[in-house]
Amino acid sequence: MRRHLKRYYGEGDLHFITFSCYQRRPLLCASARDRFLEILEEVRCRSDFVIIGYVVMPEHVHLLMSEPERCNPSMAMQVLKQRTSRALPHREPQLWQLRFYDFNVFTSRKRIEKLKYMHRNPVTRGLVATPEEWKWSSYRWYALEEQGPVRLNEGWHEIKLTNILR
């Protein structure tokens, strides 16, 4: 039986969102991660939200984002998951697990904590030795000022680089 999820929208908070591939299987190969990020940027532009940080892992995704101007985070995630399901090849009955985890982030301290967690995720999982080696995260933008496929912090200027990299 499904439990009703309570989502808190409309307060202007950031949202730390996590969603997983079907049965947490590693369905996102390198080319699929590249395409996912292209689609994320398209959805970001269309729904008008700010991406503060992201990491795309083989079996799940973390996003730190603002509330969209043109819809709510649930609708934006629905569009993102539907578009990537259609665009990415997969052999499973579906690409994504149903639903997503959403945590409201309203303090600077929690925002930095979530960014560090995301950026360290590939290292913690043993996929790379250092965060800058994982090209499917926002770390390289913060550490090396390298523009990736997703525009970060557009309209969001209060994050300081030194706080993220410590």
Write down the pLDDT at residue 162: 42
Q: Is the pTM of this model over 0.85?
A: yes
pLDDT over 80 (residue 157) = no
Of residues 96 and 160, more confidently modeled: 96
CA distance 91 to 74: 26
- State the CB neighbour count (10 A cutoff) for residue 21: 21
Tell me what the mean pLDDT of segment 44-54 comes to. 94
Say whether pLDDT at 24 is over 50.
yes
The confidence score (pLDDT) of residue 128 equals 98
> What amino acid occupies position 106?
F
Could you tell me the pLDDT band of residue 70, with boundaries at 50, 70 and 90?
confident
Chain centroid to CA 117:
12
Q: How sure is the predictor about 91, in pLDDT bands with cuts at 50, 70 and 90?
A: confident
The answer on pLDDT for 56 being more than 50 is yes
Report, in this order, helix, strand and coil percent for the chain, each rounded to 5.
40, 15, 45
Q: Is the dihedral of CA 129, 24, 53, 43 positive or negative?
A: positive
Which domains does the chain carry? Answer: 14-165 (3.30.70.1290)
pLDDT of residue 90: 80
Q: Pick 139 or 89 by higher pLDDT.
A: 139
Segment 19-44 shows an average pLDDT of 97
pLDDT band at 23 (very low <50, low <70, confident <90, very high): very high
Contact between 139 and 132 under an 8 Å Cβ cutoff? The reply is yes
Residue with tokens 């209060």: 158
Three-state SS for 83? helix
Which is higher by pLDDT, 2 or 97? 97
C-alpha to C-alpha distance for 8 and 148, rounded to whole angstroms: 30
The pLDDT, as a whole number, for residue 89 is: 84
Amino acid at 138: S
Q: Is the pLDDT of residue 141 over 60?
A: yes
